[in-house]
Every structure is written in C-alpha cells, then in structure tokens.
C-alpha cells in the first residue's frame, strides 16, 4: 500500500512528540546492537484497519526493519490472532511501539464501530456516512478506517463539497438565495442543504437542491420527509443517530445516514506488541 506523503509527515511528528531527544529507558537498558522480533496480537475481536500505517512507523525510524503483515485490511480479527511481525533493532521496536499501537488501535476501533452500523441496516438500501467530526490532523486516517469498515465518506473538508448549513442560510438571507448563489458559482457540484423542519425541506426542494440533510429530526418527521421528497431529492438523516435507532431510520426510505459517532466516539481496539 502506498503511504501518502502527508501521512508519513504526520507519523514523523507523532514520533517526535513521543521520543523527543531520545528514549531514555531503552537507551539505559537495551544494547545498541540488540535485535528482536515483535508481534502485534489481538486482545479482542475487531475489524482490522490501519496496519500499513502502523508498520510504516518502524520503517520511518529504521528502513532496515523487516515488516510482515499476516492479515488484510478489513479482516475480521479474533482475540488471539497475530496481525503482523516486526524484526530489527530492539531499540527501534521499543521507540516506535506506542505511536504504532496508537494509530492501529484508533483506526481498528473506528472500522469496528462502522461495521456495526453497517450490519444494523443491512438490506435497507441506505448508506452510512461519516462526518467532519474527526480528530484534528487525523481526518485522512479516520476516514480511511470508516471506508475499511464498510462506510462511505461524506465530504472530506470544506473544499470538496457544497453543504449549506443553518448559519450559511442566515448569512445568505434564506434557503432560496443560498442555493441560487451556490448554483451560479459551482454549477457542476451537487448542492446539499441542511434543514431542521419539513417547511425547510419544501423550500430546499423548490430552490433546486440536489440533497437535503434532515438535521435532528424525529423518526416520524423523517418518514414524512421521505414522502414529501418523493425521490425529487436525495435525503440524508443526521443527528441523534445510534446503533439502537439506525435500523428504524434506514427503513424509512432515507438515502443516507450520517453519524459523527463513527469517528468521535469509537472505542479503541485492544492490541498489544510483544517481543518474542
């Protein structure tokens, strides 16, 4: 897997944050010539995501290390499975251990939670989307984990999609004016409008929106919105989405369901790195 330059730069900054001028404990206890093998071991069940990035940590520290992955991205990992092996200088392994595990545990946690959401709506036709509620500077990695878990990425940032939210509407003088301005400036991009009422939905449809985001609407209102839209626009439900209610939301006929929890509330997977 090709590691993007931006990710390599991120890993270097993370290593600098953790190691600083040097790993004091390892320097005191481990001879410079010592070599070891270390294995990534699963301590729970999860969906694997981010192993290439985790292994890249050691390659950045020392290009001579030997890295072997035993499972593919997206694999269903069981407790006790060996994910990968690192062979090389013991000092390198110990210096990169925490940064590597932090990346891997975080991304596996996101992929695992995403897969749970996907499984809950199986057969409905709805898609699960992520949001921009990501850890600063980790968005590329976290959205990668969502995809690996079976989810679909919403826009990456403010630069690659038009989403007219409540504050845009207020600043522009209404839904109609906001959609018109956006359409004139970017006629090739789809226009999505966020609304919180059925009246707002009707205004967005009349204004020519392509997608309407139903913000924090109750299930009953979502069902009414689906009937009102009648396939004239695509509909996205967002807010108050959980594993407990996503099936009901999906069965309403909605096209997309976005959940910030995928990235801001996913618990990290439990993984260890043990020297053999």
Total residue count of the chain as it appears in this document:
276
176 by Cβ neighbours in 10 Å (0-12 / 13-18 / 19+) ranks as middle
Q: Which of 127, 165, 181, 224 is catalytic?
A: 165
Question: In b/e form, how buried is each residue of 19-33, taking b as 16+ CB within 10 angstroms?
Answer: beeebeebeeebeee
Contact 18, 100 (CB under 8 A): no
Q: Which of 97, 130, 192, 194 is catalytic?
A: 194
Contact 219, 246 (CB under 8 A): no
Active site residue 98: yes
Provide Rg for the chain, Cα atoms: 23
> DSSP 3-state assignment of 129?
strand
CA distance 188 to 210: 11
In angstroms, the Cα distances linking 35 to 24, 86, 261, 275 are 18, 11, 41, 10
Contact 129, 259 (CB under 8 A): yes
Q: Which of 215, 221, 248, 270 is catalytic?
A: 215
* DSSP strand pairing (76-77 vs 211-215): unpaired
Contact 45, 79 (CB under 8 A): yes
CA nearest 46: which of 26, 24, 71, 21? Answer: 71
Q: Which of 37, 133, 180, 247 is catalytic?
A: 133
Q: Which of 39, 98, 139, 155 is catalytic?
A: 98
Active site residue 215: yes
Active site residue 194: yes
Active site residues: 98, 133, 165, 194, 215
């Amino acid at each position: 897997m090709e590691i993007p330059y931006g990710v390599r730069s991120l890993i270097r900054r993370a290593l600098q944050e953790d190691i600083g001028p040097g790993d004091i404990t390892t320097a005191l206890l481990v001879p410079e010539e010592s070599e070891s093998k270390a294995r990534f071991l699963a301590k729970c069940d999860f969906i694997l995501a981010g192993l290439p990035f985790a292994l890249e940590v050691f390659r950045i520290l020392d290009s001579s290390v030997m890295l072997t992955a035993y499972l593919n991205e997206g694999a269903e990992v069981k407790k006790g499975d060996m994910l990968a092996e690192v062979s090389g200088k013991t000092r390198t392994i110990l210096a990169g251990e925490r940064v590597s595990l932090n990346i891997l545990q975080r991304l596996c946690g996101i992929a695992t939670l995403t897969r749970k959401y996907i499984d809950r709506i199986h057969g409905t036709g709805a898609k699960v989307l992520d949001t921009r509620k990501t850890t600063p500077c980790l968005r590329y990695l976290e959205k990668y984990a969502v995809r690996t878990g079976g989810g679909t990425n919403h826009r990456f940032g403010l630069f690659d999609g038009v989403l007219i939210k409540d504050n845009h509407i207020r600043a522009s003088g209404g839904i109609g004016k906001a959609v018109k301005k956006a359409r004139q400036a970017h006629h090739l991009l789809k226009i999505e409008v966020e609304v919180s009422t059925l009246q707002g939905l009707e205004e967005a449809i009349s204004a020519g929106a392509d997608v309407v985001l139903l913000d924090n609407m109750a299930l009953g209102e979502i069902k009414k919105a689906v009937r009102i839209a009648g396939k004239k626009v695509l509909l996205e439900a967002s807010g108050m989405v959980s594993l407990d209610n996503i099936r009901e939301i999906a069965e309403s006929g909605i096209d997309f369901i976005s959940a910030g929890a995928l990235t801001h509330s996913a618990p990290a997977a439990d993984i260890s790195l043990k020297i053999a």
